[in-house]
Structure 1
Amino acid sequence: MPDMPDQRPTLALAFDFASTPAEVRGALGRVARGLDGIGWDAETRGAVELALAEALNNIVEHAYGGAPDGRIHLTLDATAGSADLVIRDSGGAMPGHRLPAGAPVDPEARGDLPEGGFGWYLIRRLASHLSYRRTEGCNRLEIHMRRADHAGGGAE
């Protein structure tokens, strides 16, 4: 029997956008529509959107300090079972050139919650692998996610 090519749907996206909340929303919509097009269900698609939104919003708010003239480059390669996201920007580096550990929300906290860390906690819980490096003035964040019905998350 001859080898049959893999017939699973795949998705490849690569695009640039400005470091603004409106452009981030547009990028998230584009990713969601793409994953929907290859059969990702709402729950697992939502997990990718949440992790990506947290990462992109951190770039807008912290790496570029809210400056709208920054550029973000996003690539997404996905199959029926996994999604690989690569985000590049030329904003400020991560503190210590490392990914923040992130902390869960304290359920006992009352009033104003402190800023910081919750988003990275979510990203780490949702992703199966994370990688960050800074080279030649550019940040590169890689997020690998698996569909919930294919495998569990929890990046270390």
Structure 2
Amino acid sequence: MLGMEQQDHLTVKSELKLLNLVQQWFEQFCLNYLSPSLWSESQLYRLNLALAEGFTNAVRHAHHALPPETTIDIDVCLFLDRLEIRIWDRGKPFNPDAIREPEPGTLQVGGYGWFLLRRLADRVVYERTLDGRNCLLIVKYALIGQ
């Protein structure tokens, strides 16, 4: 494991209209700290899309029964070899392994977001923490050694 280089934190209310703010914050972090020699535009696009999916899922699903003032915390941590995004919500936990993967060419209600996340990132983990929050961890590795 290589040491952390940079990190940032954002707290926003549980409102879909704040997605643009969340994405602009992330894009600014990337502009400030990510080296173009280690991070391709494609990787950054995938990370931004994964962040958008994680945030909107927290608003639409985890916080659907909670007041809009309920906050969502987002952390971004840059290491020498990877970028980690953590999205913290206060909703009821769910088991992503219980979601059936959509069959190609068929339609089903729900479940696409989790599989999209897993295809956009190198590692995705969703777990309940001891403080009663849920954490969605999205990891993407730099171009080092690839």
TM range (shorter): 0.7 to 0.9
> For 1:76-124, what per-residue CA distance to the aligned partner results, in whole angstroms no more than 9, with x for missing partners?
0124642111111112222xxx224562562x34xxx432111111111
Structure 1 residue aligned with 2:53: 54
Alignment of 1:74-113 (within 5 A): 74-79=74-79, 81-94=81-94, 98-100=95-97, 101=99, 103-104=101-102, 106=104, 108-109=105-106, 113=107
Q: Which has the larger radius of gyration?
A: 1
Aligned length: 137
Change (3 A) 1:116 1:150: farther
- Match of residue 128, structure 1, among 122, 127, 134: 122
Q: Distance in 2 between matches of 1:45 and 1:80?
A: 16
Change (3 A) 1:150 1:23: same
Contact residue 11 and residue 35 of structure 1 kept, 8 A: no
Name stretches of at least 5 consecutive residues in structure 2 with no aligned partner: none
Pairwise CA distance, 1:126: 2.1
Structure 1 residue aligned with 2:69: 69
**TM-score, length-scaled by structure 1:** 0.74
Contact residue 9 and residue 75 of structure 2 kept, 8 A: yes
Percent pairwise identity: 24
Structure 2 residue aligned with 1:3: none
- Match of residue 33, structure 1, among 28, 34, 39: 28
SS of residue matched to 1:142? strand
Change (3 A) 1:105 1:31: farther
SS of residue matched to 1:92? coil
Change (3 A) 1:43 1:63: same
Change (3 A) 1:137 1:122: same
> For 1:36-80, what per-residue CA distance to the aligned partner results, in whole angstroms no more than 9, with x for missing partners?
222344211111011111111111000011742221001101246
Higher RCO structure (Cα 8 Å, ≥6 apart):
2
Q: Distance in 2 between matches of 1:56 and 1:120?
A: 12
Are residue 138 (structure 1) and residue 107 (structure 2) matched? Answer: no
Name stretches of at least 5 consecutive residues in structure 1 with no aligned partner: 1-9
